[in-house]
Chain A
Amino acid sequence: MAPNAPTLAIDVHDLVKRYGPRTVVDRFSLSIEQGRICGFLGPNGSGKTTTLRMICGLLTPDGGGGTCLGYDLVRDREAIKRQTGYMTQRFGLYEDLTIRENLEFVARVYGLDRLRERVDQSLERLGLATRQGQLAGALSGGWKQRLALAACVLHEPKLLLLDEPTAGVDPKARRAFWDEIHAYAAQGITVLVSTHYMDEAERCHEIAYIAYGELMARGTAADIVRQSNLSAFIATGPGADRLATKLRDAPGVSAAAAFGATLHVCGPDPAALERAIAPYRADPNIAWHEAEPTLEDIFIHLMGKARDNAPGA
């Protein structure tokens, strides 16, 4: 390895996980440099959670392998667990313990020293010091997620695996949550975070898009937009949004969606897309502009592509 080569926090290749006849994750490879925030996107049931569980040692891969923080994925499961923080999709702390008791429990399981001090610091950082005696179950969704994150980083892990940490959380709490993620990354912690929110995807250093168990796109948000080769148009004017239903299934259109009063259409072939919208360009009330495809456009397009490739689909 060259002296300046970046250290890979996650380096897995050809991961396979099957449940009976169903292949949930199919030859999945991913490498993430240390200190990066990688957004993990993909439709529901695409294998994101399964992949995260394989990386943190909760599931044994049926094929493939690799390293996590330099440890072998299967053999060094215990070592990985000690240096990784995994935040489950569902609130995984005890609702019938207080905020402080939860943190103390986690600290004890990891065998941390200076227990009281660490928990105090964590509560301070969270801003929950005054509410430390409340039951965790009494917290709102946003606070629960922040508490879960605090519990995850209590043992100062080098890698954070977050499974849809902000699902159902209000925008303000989400923003606070992401500020914290960035703060941890600045300390050198690597973060792999799954999400469905496009604005969150844009806050990541890089993105991995998975659909039906396969990695479909990889890179920074800008990379992905550039590599997508997708053309897009925005239509504005009265009634533009109503064209969405008409255009959605037209040949050459991979996605057509109304955003308020405007319409957003995209397709892989510029000529075909032009042909599809041509009948509606005559309408003098509607103005058409060429635009850059959004991440959402690209992901919906990729989803359709993945489904076409999926065997038996």
Chain B
Amino acid sequence: MKANNTLMRADRSASLLWRRHLCDKLATAMSWLGMLIVVFMLGSILWTLFKNGLAGMSVHLFTMSMAAPGQPGGLANAIVGSIIQTGLAILIGAPAGLMTGIYLAEYGTTSRLARIVRFVSDMLLSAPSILIGLFIYMMLVVPFGHFSGLSGAVALAILAMPIVVRTTEDMLRLVPVAMREAGIALGAPKWRVILFICVRAVRAGIMTGVLLAIARVAGETAPLLFTSLGNSEWSLDLGRPMASLPVAIYQYAGSAYQDWMQQAWTGALLVTLGVLIINIVVRVGTRGGRS
């Protein structure tokens, strides 16, 4: 009787153990599946881009401006336009982000105002980019009566700034107190300590944020649709509509012409490669620096 009881208990615990391990195996299998699907998606996107985009790589793409379907043309004006607008956006957005980051890390810290600024900046980080486009359209396009490269750059700057704010604040918080105290002990005023000791010490980290901001805004399309509009001719005038690679891709990808489609794919490959290479450099670089 007693032996029987023990046997039954052993039996039950064995079945429980079996069930627990089954659950574990099932969860493990689902987890592997999830991971593989995510990696497969990235692979599929890259493969599609290379398959369709590589064929259109040529010197003309970089030397000729956009042209009507059937005419020989390239994406040179769009590439240059993208570089100009992204560059200008960073020139506006990065210093503003840097100073806001300094305010949050060094002056505001836990004050009420700083908490609100931090919160709003984080919200802008994920705000729909099309809203920024509409906003700049009403602020800089309607009053001046025409679309312009400058308004596109300002829209992108609003998107770039919160990224720099986030990294600057995070990085400045990593600066050891001893370093600040050393600066103060030498008689340096606080602003010099911040700018020439703290910021300089973490400049690599802040550069990371700036690079990520470049990667983010270089591929943005929605805010440019209503601001710089796109331009099929060569133009460096910031007061006029300006071409950009993402908008050109959008325009070409929706067309029915074979050569435009080809250029859209090649442009897409260029944008993606650029953005991903910046990301890889940043992430490999920061990992190396940390360890």
Whether both chains belong to one complex is answered with: no
Q: Which residues of A contact B (CB under 8 A)?
A: none
Q: Which residues of B contact A (CB under 8 A)?
A: none
